[in-house]
Structure formats: structure tokens, C-alpha cells
């Protein structure tokens, strides 16, 4: 084509791929001639059956992942590296762990750059975890979440309990057996929300379980997060900020029993209450119920005593009233009997026959009605005078009363 200079292959300078790879290999060898200590995070790890371990290392900042590289632990170094890490931390290497490793850098024309891990510093990983843990605590404190759960009160009689644990975990089995076979015979409803309880997936898994509890139609009295112990690194997932914040903001009291002896984690710090072991948590729930049961029993006893005392008082008052009524009735009966006796004695004395027998005449009007007074009589009235030996039928000639009789007596004299 016009305007384009024809450049022959003989005049162009170039190198082949192998030469380029050789140059890179030499440059890498010169730049990193001996093993160096490298800080990185394990993005993934794969243990092969034939003995080699393959890893992907990464480094991140606020913007995300900024560097990646493949690494390997060859079979000849496997026990020295993995065994030392397991011995010092109690855990295996896993994704999400930040490590300080000694690597030998090499470059191969077919496989590219390789980081061969020949040693590891477990203390660095543990130290980094402590730094991250303190940063999480500081952030939660600043956001006012450290004591939020502690303002919630557990029900006096906890019955509906949501448990977050691995369904095959020994700790959950111990808790369930200890709680449901309690010596008092208290009954509880336990609903298990299964979740991963260690590793990089645990925080998200536990938060999903919390969401499941909120989405249920049951008003749970408490949420119990259980795990049957583990190494410090195994339990480091409970220092995760997102998990701790979710626990702190949860509207139901959250109790943790992660099973550690030496230290407690951020999840414990933000929880309403934490204990060391699942069986200790079962005892706490049982003791709470026993305390409420004791209060109810004491109240029932006080009520019974008060009722019995009131009943006895009422019985005493009733007996007193009964005695008073009996006394009053007896007094009235006695008075009535005395009055009746009086009249019984008086009636014979008033019998006309008795008067006649005593020589006392009885005066009656024309109708036979006894007359006790001259007052009211008139001349011409018929009267009869009854005597012991007969009767006189008379007619009133005149009536003299009081002074008239006295005057008549004077005249006669």
C-alpha cells in the first residue's frame, strides 16, 4: 500500500516468548534471590490428595482487591507449615485468614510466577485478629451498640427459645438434653435455626438465621447462639463487625454460649448475656424459670395464708354473732316467759267467781259488761249487782260522783 514502508522481517528486532520468560525469570531471581516474609490474606485454599496445597493470596484496601497471586505449599513443606500453624493456633489455614508467610519466589516459562511457602508465623495471625477485634469494639462503641442488647429484659417465664447452632454440633445436643431433662420438669419449646458456626461463612450464616427468626410468626422469648468450643482462630468469626452489629440491633434478648474458656469475643460483649458453655446456658434458663416458679409458689402461699386467716376471722365473727343472737333470743324468751307467767298468775285472780267467793259484789250494765266506775252512768240505766248468793237487778236513781258524795254525806250528818 502507498505511504506504508515495507519493513522486512530481517530488519525488525524481536524476541521469542521463551526468551522473554527467561528474562523475567532472571529478573525475578535477581530481585528476590532468597526467601522473604510476605503479608497477605488467603483468598482460597485447596488441599490435594497427593500432598500439595494450592492457595490464592490477595491484598485489599478500601477500594477492594488490589493484588492477587497464586501460591503453593509443596508436600515436603506441608507438615512444617500447616502443622506449626495448627499447633500454635489450634486451627487449620482457611480462607479469610491474614498470614505472615515466608515464600521463595520463582518464575517458570510454563507456569509463570510461583510463591512457594516454606514457613509461617502463627503469632502474626493471632496478633492481627486482636487488632481487628479492638477496631471492631471501637466502632461498635462509637455507634452506641455495645450496651443496646443489655437494655432488653428476658421474660419471667422463658418458653419459646430460638437456637442458632449447627444441627450436628455436640454443644447443641448437650444443651437440648440438659434443658429438656431438667429436674423440675419445666417444659420449653426449642426451634433450631441451623447455621455455620466457624469459618469465613459463619457471620453471614448466623445473620441469615437471625433474619429467619424475625420472619417467623413466633414471638420468641430469647435467641440462643450455641457452639461447643474451639480454638481461638475457629472462634474469630464471632469478632466480625457485621455479626456483632446484627446481634446488638436484634429486638429480642440474645444469649451466647460459644464454649471458650480464656477470652470472650465481640459477639459476647454485645449480647444480652453470655456464658461459657451451652450447658451453663441451659442452667441459666432453668434457674430463671425456677426463680419465677418460686415467686408464683410464694405468692400462692401468701394468698392461701391470707385467705385462711380471713376465713378464720370470719368464722370467729360468725361464732360471736351466733352467741350474741342466741343470747338475745334467750333473753327475749325469758322475758316473754316471765310476762306470760305474770299474766297466767293474774288471770285467775281476775276471775269473777274468785271475786264473788271473796264476798266482792260485781256490778254490770244492762248488757252484762262489768262496771268499775259510776262515771258515765245516767239515771234510769239498768244495772245488775252480782252477789255470792244471788243477783240484784236495779235501776239508777241518781249518780253521785266524788264531791257530790262528800256533800251528801255532810247534809245527812
CATH architecture designation of domain 17-120: Beta Barrel (2.40)
Q: Quick check: 254 and 223 in contact, CB under 8 A?
A: yes
CB atoms within 10 A of CB 10: 5
pLDDT value of position 366: 81
Please, where are the H alpha helices in 192-238? Answer: 202-215
Report if pTM > 0.75.
Answer: no
**What's the whole-number average pLDDT of the chain?**
86
Q: What is the 3-state secondary structure (H, E, C) of 89-127?
A: HCCCCCCCCEEEEEEEEEEECCCEEEEEEEEECHHHHHH
Q: Which residues pair with 365 in a beta bridge?
A: 383
Q: Which of 339, 363, 344 is nearest to 352 (CA)?
A: 363
What does 155-197 look like in DSSP terms, one character per residue?
-SS--EEEEEE-TT-HHHHHHHHHHHT-TT----EEEEEE---
Q: Quick check: 72 and 55 in contact, CB under 8 A?
A: yes
pLDDT value of position 256: 95
Hey, where are the domains in the chain? 17-120, 133-291, 355-412
CA–CA distance from 206 to each of 53, 157, 292 (Å)? 29, 26, 31
The gap from C-alpha 141 to its chain's centroid, in whole angstroms, comes to 27
> CA-to-CA distance for 36 and 4, rounded, in angstroms?
51
- Give the phi and the psi of residue 412 in degrees, each rounded to 5: -65, -40
pLDDT value of position 411: 64
pLDDT value of position 220: 97
pLDDT value of position 367: 82
> CA-to-CA distance for 87 and 93, rounded, in angstroms?
11
Is beta strand 53-61 parallel, antiparallel or unpaired with respect to 160-165? unpaired
Q: Which residues are within 8 A (CB) of 153 and not within 5 positions of it... i.e. 6 or more apart?
A: 253
> CA-to-CA distance for 396 and 374, rounded, in angstroms?
10
CB atoms within 10 A of CB 70: 15
pLDDT in tens, 99-131: 999 999 998 888 888 899 999 998 888 888 888
The domain 133-291 having CATH identifier 3.50.50.60: the answer here is no
Average pLDDT across each block of 10 residues of the chain; the chain has 413 residues. List them in order: 53 87 88 91 88 92 88 92 87 86 90 91 85 90 96 92 90 92 93 90 95 94 86 78 97 89 82 92 94 77 76 81 82 82 69 75 84 84 86 86 70 61
Q: Which residues are within 8 A (CB) of 229 and not within 5 positions of it... i.e. 6 or more apart?
A: 171, 258, 259, 260, 261, 277
Amino acid at each position: 500500500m502507498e505511504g506504508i514502508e515495507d519493513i522486512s522481517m530481517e530488519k525488525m528486532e524481536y524476541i521469542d516468548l521463551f526468551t522473554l520468560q527467561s528474562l523475567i525469570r532472571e529478573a525475578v531471581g535477581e530481585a528476590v534471590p532468597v526467601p522473604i516474609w510476605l503479608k497477605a490474606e488467603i483468598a482460597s485454599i485447596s488441599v490435594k490428595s497427593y500432598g500439595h496445597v494450592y492457595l490464592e493470596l490477595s491484598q485489599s484496601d478500601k477500594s477492594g482487591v488490589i493484588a492477587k497471586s497464586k501460591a503453593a505449599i509443596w508436600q515436603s513443606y506441608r507438615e512444617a507449615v500447616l502443622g506449626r500453624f495448627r499447633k500454635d493456633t489450634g486451627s487449620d489455614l482457611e480462607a479469610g485468614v491474614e498470614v505472615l508467610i515466608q515464600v521463595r519466589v520463582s518464575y517458570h516459562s510454563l507456569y509463570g510466577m510461583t510463591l512457594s511457602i516454606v514457613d509461617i508465623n502463627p503469632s502474626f495471625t493471632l496478633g492481627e485478629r486482636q487488632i481487628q477485634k479492638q477496631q471492631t469494639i471501637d466502632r461498635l462503641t462509637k455507634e452506641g451498640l455495645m450496651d443496646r442488647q443489655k437494655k432488653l429484659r428476658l421474660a419471667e417465664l422463658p418458653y419459646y427459645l430460638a437456637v442458632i447452632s449447627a444441627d450436628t454440633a455436640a454443644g447443641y445436643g448437650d444443651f437440648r438434653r440438659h434443658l429438656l431433662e431438667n429436674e423440675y420438669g419445666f417444659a420449653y419449646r426449642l426451634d433450631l435455626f441451623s447455621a455455620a458456626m466457624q469459618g469465613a461463612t459463619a457471620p453471614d450464616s448466623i445473620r441469615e438465621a437471625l433474619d429467619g427468626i424475625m420472619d417467623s410468626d413466633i414471638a420468641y422469648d430469647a435467641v440462643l447462639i450455641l457452639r461447643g468450643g474451639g480454638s481461638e482462630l475457629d472462634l474469630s468469626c464471632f469478632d466480625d463487625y457485621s455479626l456483632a452489629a446484627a446481634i446488638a440491633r436484634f429486638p429480642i434478648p440474645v444469649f451466647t454460649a460459644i464454649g471458650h474458656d480464656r477470652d470472650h469475643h465481640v459477639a459476647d460483649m454485645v449480647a444480652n448475656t453470655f456464658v461459657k458453655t451451652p450447658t451453663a446456658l441451659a442452667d441459666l434458663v432453668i434457674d430463671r424459670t425456677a426463680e419465677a416458679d418460686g415467686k408464683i409458689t410464694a405468692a400462692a402461699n401468701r394468698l392461701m395464708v391470707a385467705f385462711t386467716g380471713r376465713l378464720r376471722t370470719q368464722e370467729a365473727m360468725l361464732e360471736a354473732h351466733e352467741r350474741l343472737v342466741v343470747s338475745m333470743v334467750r333473753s327475749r324468751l325469758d322475758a316473754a316467759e316471765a310476762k306470760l307467767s305474770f299474766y297466767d298468775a293474774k288471770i285467775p285472780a281476775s276471775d269473777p267467781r274468785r271475786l264473788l267467793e271473796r264476798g266482792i259484789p260485781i256490778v254490770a250494765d244492762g248488757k252484762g259488761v262489768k262496771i268499775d266506775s259510776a262515771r258515765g252512768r245516767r239515771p234510769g240505766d239498768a244495772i245488775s249487782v252480782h252477789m255470792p248468793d244471788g243477783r240484784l237487778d236495779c235501776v239508777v236513781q241518781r249518780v253521785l260522783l266524788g264531791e257530790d258524795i262528800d256533800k251528801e254525806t255532810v247534809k245527812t250528818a
